[in-house]
């Protein structure tokens, strides 16, 4: 039986507890992807707050894979000082930081990517802003190599781990999903073929960082879409990764087109609404030997205890609760076991678009002096 505040190790990376700050777009970087002092302060607060592992916001590996403004980039060596500063800031507070690598594929647009978006297939689907260009084999080879180069930079900058984003409808997930992958070559069709791109990215990244460096993946247990990736395909992908010695799998679900079952559901205000990806994670946990993380609506100590205990999860990830309460883990450790105060309104993301960084608008309003 695992407990929240016990120490653990992932391929040599020691963590003080089993709480993970899941990757969260902060909108705090320069237009070119350069990290800012505001982002460093965000990570400092999380490290001070006692979260076991901080996973950065989704970081684009190449400019044509950028989706949102203010998104962090690791596509060139130019940002080395700022990246090293992020890492040092976290380490000085006793924290650990993992960088999440992503290419948005067809889920971006020309305005953000700077060119016509790429995807496994040129299809019109709801999760895409427009119809992307189908990737040729040279495109595939190039992006695989760019993932590897980005991971190599991350290791050299001092990050404690790398996570590949293979969920939420982004490029790797687009290859995995029959909804977005209509290819007739070795990268499409059967689930084995649809997993090929993921495995080739993984192997390239592993060759860059080596066997003793923690390498994680964020994987959809289901796209929650008709014709999309389902739990059977997800278990198949997870077992392939497990056989290749992946160090941990974080299980999520949904895409931007998944209706009420997107990755960031609203109105999570009762324990029975929490842990909405736990059933998917349970099936993956049965099939693999590596540690499994689960994200999705966790707010209460009791629900987290159950996930780590009876359900056998290795880690629990949260995103929005740490936006409102960066020191949530510390509060729970001190003995205040009240649920996270996050009300799952998603209002925190609006300032990222308009004010250069996310924050909890509810908390700010409540703290504002009354006139």
Can you read off the two tokens belonging to residue 124?
């019109």
Please list the helix, strand and coil fractions of the chain in percent, rounded to the nearest 5, in that order: 40, 15, 45
Alpha-carbon torsion 172, 173, 178, 181, what sign? Answer: negative
- Look at residue 370 in the predicted model and tell me its pLDDT: 59
Q: Give the pLDDT band (50/70/90) at residue 272.
A: very high
Domain ranges (residues) in the chain: 8-367
* pLDDT(369) > 90: no
Q: Give the pLDDT band (50/70/90) at residue 367.
A: confident
Mean pLDDT, residues 120-146 taken together: 97
Mean pLDDT, residues 299-318 taken together: 97
The one catalytic residue in 58, 170, 202, 315 is 170
* CATH number for the segment(s) 8-367: 3.20.20.70
Q: Which positions ≥6 away from 125 have C-beta within 8 Å?
A: 106, 179, 180, 257
* 327: helix, strand or coil: coil
Mean pLDDT, residues 336-346 taken together: 96
> What is the residue whose two structure tokens read 């693999």?
288
* pLDDT(45) > 90: yes
Percent of the chain with pLDDT over 70: 99
* pLDDT(173) > 60: yes
d(CA 18, CA 7): 7
* pLDDT(1) > 90: no
- Look at residue 129 in the predicted model and tell me its pLDDT: 95
- Look at residue 334 in the predicted model and tell me its pLDDT: 96
Q: Catalytic: 170?
A: yes
Can you read off the two tokens belonging to residue 141?
């080879």
Percent of the chain with pLDDT over 90: 95
State the average pLDDT for the chain.
96
Q: Give the pLDDT band (50/70/90) at residue 5.
A: very high
* pLDDT(371) > 60: no
**Contacts within 8 Å (CB) and 24+ apart, 300-308:** 300/271, 300/274, 300/339, 300/340, 301/4, 301/332, 301/337, 301/339, 302/271, 303/271, 303/274, 303/275, 304/4, 304/19, 305/3, 305/4, 306/275, 307/275, 307/278, 308/1, 308/2, 308/3, 308/4, 308/18
* pLDDT(345) > 60: yes
pTM of the model: 0.97
Model confidence over 207-253: pLDDT tens digits?
999 999 999 999 999 999 999 999 999 999 999 999 999 999 999 99
């Amino acid at each position: 039986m695992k407990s929240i505040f016990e120490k653990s190790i992932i391929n040599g990376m020691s963590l003080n507890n089993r709480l993970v700050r899941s990757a969260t777009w902060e909108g705090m970087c320069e237009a070119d992807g350069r990290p800012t002092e505001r982002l460093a302060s965000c990570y400092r607060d999380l490290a001070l707050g006692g979260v076991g592992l901080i996973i950065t916001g989704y970081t684009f590996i190449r400019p044509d894979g950028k989706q949102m403004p203010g998104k962090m980039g690791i596509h060139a060596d130019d940002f080395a000082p700022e990246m090293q500063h992020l890492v040092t800031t976290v380490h000085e507070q006793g924290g650990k930081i993992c960088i999440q690598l992503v290419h948005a594929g067809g889920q971006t647009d020309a305005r953000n990517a700077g060119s016509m978006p790429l995807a496994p297939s040129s299809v019109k689907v709801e999760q895409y802003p427009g119809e992307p260009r189908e990737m040729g084999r040279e495109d595939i080879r190039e992006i695989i190599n760019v993932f590897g180069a980005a991971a190599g930079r991350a290791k050299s900058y001092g990050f404690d781990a790398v996570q590949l984003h293979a969920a939420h409808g982004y490029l790797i997930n687009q290859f995995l999903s029959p909804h977005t992958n209509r290819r007739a070559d070795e990268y499409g069709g059967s689930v084995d073929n649809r997993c090929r791109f993921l495995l080739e990215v993984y192997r390239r990244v592993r060759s860059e960082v080596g066997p003793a460096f923690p390498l994680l993946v964020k994987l959809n247990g289901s796209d929650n879409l008709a014709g999309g990736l389902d739990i059977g395909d997800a278990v198949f992908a997870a077992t392939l990764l497990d056989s290749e010695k992946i160090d941990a799998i974080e299980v999520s679900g949904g895409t931007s087109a998944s209706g009420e079952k997107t990755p960031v559901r609203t109105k999570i205000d009762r324990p029975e609404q929490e842990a909405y990806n736990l059933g998917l994670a349970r099936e993956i946990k049965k099939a693999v030997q590596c540690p499994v993380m689960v994200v999705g609506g966790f707010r209460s100590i009791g629900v987290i205890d159950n996930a780590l205990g009876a359900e056998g999860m290795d880690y629990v990830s949260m995103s929005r609760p740490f936006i409102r309460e960066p020191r949530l883990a510390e509060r729970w450790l001190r003995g205040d076991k009240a649920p996270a105060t996050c009300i799952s309104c998603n209002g925190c993301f609006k300032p990222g678009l308009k004010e250069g960084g996310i924050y909890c608008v509810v908390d700010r309003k409540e703290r504002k002096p009354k006139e």
